[in-house]
Amino acid sequence: ILTARLTKACPINSRQRGFIRSAGCSENLKLLQLLNHNAKREHRSLGVVFVDLAKAFNTVSHYHIISSLKQKGMDSHRIALITNLYYNITTRMD
């Protein structure tokens, strides 16, 4: 439920494949192949950039996440729920 509501507040790009239900990256690879084929056929240059956001959740500050949600207009109750997820986090191993 929370994911659905967050998606409404902060829409993601239709090409996003991580952490969402989708056919995987095969569709994006097929698109890249098509772009490459068309560029070769039309003798046009093509620039491609791959961005690796590995461990993005470890590097984005919690403050920035909360600030972004406020800026996007998410209601204070849901922001409080998410803020509480980050508050006083501990790990315990028995």
The residue-averaged pLDDT of 3-8 equals 73
Residue 73 CA neighbour count, 13 Å, CB half:
3
Tokens describing residue 29: 């690879």
DSSP result, 62-75: HHHHHHHHHHTT--
**In the chain, where are the structural domains located?**
1-51, 53-93
20 vs 37, which has greater pLDDT?
37
pLDDT tens digits, one per residue of 69-93 = 898 888 898 888 888 887 777 766 6
Question: Among 81, 83, 79, 62, which Cα is nearest to 70's?
Answer: 79
Question: What pLDDT is attached to residue 56?
Answer: 58
Does the pLDDT value for residue 68 go beyond 90?
no
pLDDT at 15 over 80: no
